[in-house]
Amino acid sequence: MTSCEAGNNPILQYWQEIESGRVLVCKKVKRVYRKLVDDILNPKDNWIYDNDRAQRVIDFVQRFCRQSKGKFGGKLLILQLWQKAYLAATFGFVDKDTGFRKYTESMLIVARKNGKSALASAIGNYMLFADGEKGPEVVSAATKKDQAKIVWLEAKKMIKKSPVLNKRAKCLVAEIVTAYNDGSFKPLSSESNTLDGLNISCAIIDELHAIEDMNLYDVLVDGMSAREQPLCLIISTAGTVREGIFDKKYEDAEDIIKGYDDHVYTDERKLCVIYELDSRDEWEKPECWIKANPGIGVIKQTDQLATKVKNAKHRIANLKNLLCKDFNVRETSSAAWLSFEDINNEAVVNYAALQPRYGLGGADLSSTTDLTCATEIFCKEAGGPIYVMQMYWLPETAYERFTEKEKQFYGRWADQGYLRFSSGSRVNYQDVTAWFVEVQQKYGINLLYCGYDSWSSGYWVSEMEGTFGKQCMEKVIQGKKTLSAPMKNLGADLIAKRIIYNNHPILKWCLTNTAVDTDKNANIQPLKVNAWRRIDGTASLLNAYVTLERHLEEYNYMRL
């Protein structure tokens, strides 16, 4: 493609820079823009690209939106090519008959300090003043009011710095109103009493990873259903909370991008642009930093990022935050045992097809509020993969006392079959025994040994011995002396992707929640990152793993 062919089309210009190698982007961004270029050159269905529509929003931002902070404070926003291309993609594709926008949801994941909040504020102002919507209702949404105000306050400052916009709007304490088109722009949080009856034309979610209330996203989307061309704008960095809405939307975006090639899952109404490193080790390669930081050298200072990288090399405790926030590598919290990359294994196998003969169990029994978890593991060959099956239980009365956020997590997992509720205030341990029997009957797998924490095991041990034999139950003392070496070995096997857990979402969540308690001799044992985030799945798996290590020679003989 020549410069002449690209003309003043930002998408084609950006693609020309990417294809020539003058601009380095990650694989996801490259695949998305290759698709966008194809949609421009070879329109499909009823969607066409209208460069005038795209240029309208770019012109608005650069003519009326001024920055409020740093060395560029008070100056008009001058968009970089990657920003222009993103705006052009979001606003330029329309239905050729109605003129309505193609994309109802647009997500931009970019590392911090690349101007994302300023861009979101400018888009919010465009949607309020210039989108052509009658009675536009724009919201900046977050779980907490302070977070919801960040984009809104920046938009308010932009308006006050623009004589043209300021005379057309009234900036109040809690909202911005425009009388000429009956519009409003306000911050909205889960704490608000105004979540019902919304008629939103544009919802802006800044820092998706900070959204604790997963229901908020659904409320926002439902609130746009009456609009003809609504826009849900998601602009965020990565975060350290796993199995939340960020992971859900990120994985949805991954599936959409993969669908451009394999056509397994497609959604033509969502645009997903994710700037990130292609691999974790690229953080030490300055030439790769631009993959997560398209604004580097202009918006984000290269020397400041280089200093952070140098500090992370010297002090490894800083690395997780650097990877997450400056390179968009999904991470666990800084206190966590393993990184998300270490834990994450999306391999899925058919247990029945493997025809396991013998297995080893583990259990972590709860009292009243924690999860109860049962684990069964098996191997097919020495040194090969360790396959993991798990089930979780929670008392119904404990669930009823949970916050709405907690109920969303556990309710979804129960619907998916990963979690079962026990009636009353305690888990009935007979249900745990029944699950091991269920596994035996379903897969023909015989339980040789089952590791357990003797605390609070009660009658369950006798029941299991009566079901699977007197020799079955294996006491695992919970402490560094017993757990340190097996936990280190389990960690190594997770990193090596030897632990195949069929992408079990609760186990993955428990693993990301697990920190370590270390003594002066570097012995370790599991520790919760915080009280709400459970590690019961890790404890149950570790008990099974201890049992495997104790009986490895016997097990290798028995499974032949």
- What is the Cα–Cα distance from 333 to 323, expressed in whole angstroms? 11
Name the pTM for this structure.
0.69
Which is it for strands 231-236 and 105-109: parallel, antiparallel or unpaired?
parallel
The residue type of 388 is: V
pLDDT (mean) for 78-107? 97
Each domain of the chain, given as residue ranges in start order, spans 100-274, 343-558
C-alpha–C-alpha distance, residues 234 and 208, integer Å? 7
Which of these, 179, 153, 171, 164, lies nearest to 60 by C-alpha position?
164
- Judge contact between 390 and 416, C-beta under 8 A: no
Per-state percent for the chain, helix, strand, coil, to nearest 5: 45, 20, 35
CB atoms within 10 A of CB 431: 17
Q: pLDDT tens-digit profile of 365-375?
A: 986 667 899 99
> In the prediction, which pLDDT does 334 show?
57
pLDDT at 90 over 60: yes
DSSP per-residue letters across 324-359? HHHH------TTBSS-HHHH-------HHHH---EE
Q: Give the phi and the psi of residue 430 in degrees, each rounded to 5.
A: -65, -30
- For the segment 99-109, what is each residue's pLDDT rounded down to a tens digit? 999 999 999 99
pLDDT in tens, 33-52: 999 999 999 999 999 999 99
CA angle 526/527/528 to nearest 5° reads 130
Residue range 321-339, pLDDT digits in tens: 898 899 998 876 656 788 8
Pairing of strands 93-95, 47-49: antiparallel
Total residue length of the chain? 560
Give the tens place of pLDDT for each residue, 248-262: 898 899 999 999 998
Average pLDDT over the chain reads 90
3 state DSSP class of 272: strand
Half-sphere exposure for 10 (CA within 13 Å, toward CB): 25
Q: Which tokens is 285 given?
A: 């390669």
DSSP structure class, residue 244: S
What is the model's pLDDT at position 430? Answer: 92
Four-way CATH pick for 343-558: 3.30.420.240, 3.40.50.720, 3.40.190.10, 3.10.450.50: 3.30.420.240
N- to C-terminal Cα separation, the chain:
61
Higher pLDDT, 223 or 317: 223
Name which CATH class applies to 100-274. Answer: alpha beta
Judge whether 184 and 138 are in contact, CB under 8 Å.
yes
